[in-house]
Amino acid sequence: MAEWERETRADYESKGFGVSSGFGTKPALLVVDFIVGFTDPTSPLGGDFSAELAVTAQLQTAFRKSGLPIVYTTVEYKEDLSDGGVFVKKVPSLGILRKGSPNCVVDATIKPLPGEKIISKNYASSFFGTDLDSYLRSQGVDTLVITGATTSGCVRASAVDSLQYAYHTIVVSDAVGDRAQGPHEANLFDIDAKYGDVINGAAVLDYLRSLANSGFSDAARNDFETWWNQGRKAQG
């Protein structure tokens, strides 16, 4: 932990920031903008998120085995970019995300299955101008586990709105990424202080296992346990 972070965290904690809000009883996985336009390092919007994609893929499998919802977001604009407003003026590179472009497709590493929800958005938050909240409520979700890119942009905006829509908000530290380390670290710190809990993928898997042992149908629980045990044997 950097010295600035250690000192700031101590100061924040003394003032009542950073208390864990924890998990609820039914989570969904929100994969924010892990699309080709962001995951291709040669893209003007891109970065190397291979490690974060690998953790997201593991969580994706765990959520599927648990029978829990997964939602993916993409960014797409009309050909004339008229639905991008000032955002595309501020960030002209967003013009590569016109509807139908391969840049708007979810990365093949975490390819959605048929029936898994994909939300198209125009701005940073996954909630703004979309049906995400109504979909989550229809599924009985009270906890949002967030992965994706970028930490300082769409991940942060989605985490803030997640809290404001009254969801337990979990940002997975090793499954979110940014184009630069400074904004990544600063925003994870700020999210953890004010808007949600920042934990790693292993902690989320532990939570899912506890749910599988207590809250799911026998079929879902057995499927998850089989997958979990196979993974542990492989690691050993």
Domain-wise residue ranges, the chain: 23-235
Looking at the chain, how many residues does it have?
A: 236
- CA 99, distance to chain mean position in Å, is 22
The pLDDT score that the predictor gives to residue 214 is 66
Q: Token digits for 71?
A: 């939602």
Look-up of token digits 């100061």: 11
C-beta separation of 98 from 77 below 8 A? yes
Per-residue pLDDT at 103? 99
Distance, in Å, from the CA atom of 107 to the CA atom of 109, rounded to the nearest integer, reads 5
Q: Active site includes 154?
A: yes
Task: List, in sequence order, every residue forming a beta bridge with 149; answer none if it has no partner.
Answer: 177
Q: Is 34 left (phi over 0), alpha (psi -120 to 50) or beta?
A: beta
pLDDT tens digits, 37-90 = 999 999 999 999 999 999 999 999 999 999 999 999 999 999 999 999 999 999
3-state secondary structure the chain: CCHHHHHHHHHHHHCCCCCCCCCCCCEEEEEECCEHHHHCCCCCCCCCCHHHHHHHHHHHHHHHHHCCCEEEEEECECCCCHHHHHHHHHCHHHHHCECCCHHHCECHHHCCCCCCEEEEECCCCCCCCCCHHHHHHHCCCCEEEEEEECHHHHHHHHHHHHHHCCCEEEEEEEEEECCCHHHHHHHHHHHHHHCCEEECHHHHHHHHHHHHHHCCCHHHHHHHHHHHHHHHHHHC
**Alpha-carbon Rg of the chain, whole angstroms?**
18
Amino acid in position 227: W
| pLDDT at residue number 8 | 87
pLDDT at site 216: 55
Q: What is the pLDDT of residue 107?
A: 99
Contact, 5 vs 184, CB < 8 A? no
pLDDT tens figures, 186-208: 999 999 999 999 999 999 999 99
Residue 72 · residue 28 · CB < 8 Å = no
Please tell me which residue in 30, 94, 97, 154 is annotated as part of the active site.
Answer: 154
Q: Is residue 223 over pLDDT 90? A: no
For residue 160, the model assigns a pLDDT of 99
* Band of pLDDT at residue 25, cut at 50, 70 and 90: very high
Q: What is the pLDDT of residue 96?
A: 98
Give the residue-averaged pLDDT of 81-105.
98
Asked if pLDDT for residue 220 goes beyond 70, the answer is: no
CATH code, residues 23-235: 3.40.50.850
d(CA 153, CA 28): 20
C-alpha 149: how far from chain center: 8
Q: Residue 232 — very low, low, confident or very high, per pLDDT cuts 50/70/90?
A: low
Query: Between 201-214 and 218-235, two packed helices, what is the crossing angle to 10 degrees?
Result: 140
Shortest CA distance to 61 belongs to which of 109, 26, 119?
A: 109
* Listed range (20-34, 127-141, 162-176, 209-223) with the worst mean pLDDT: 209-223
Q: How high is the pLDDT of residue 226?
A: 76
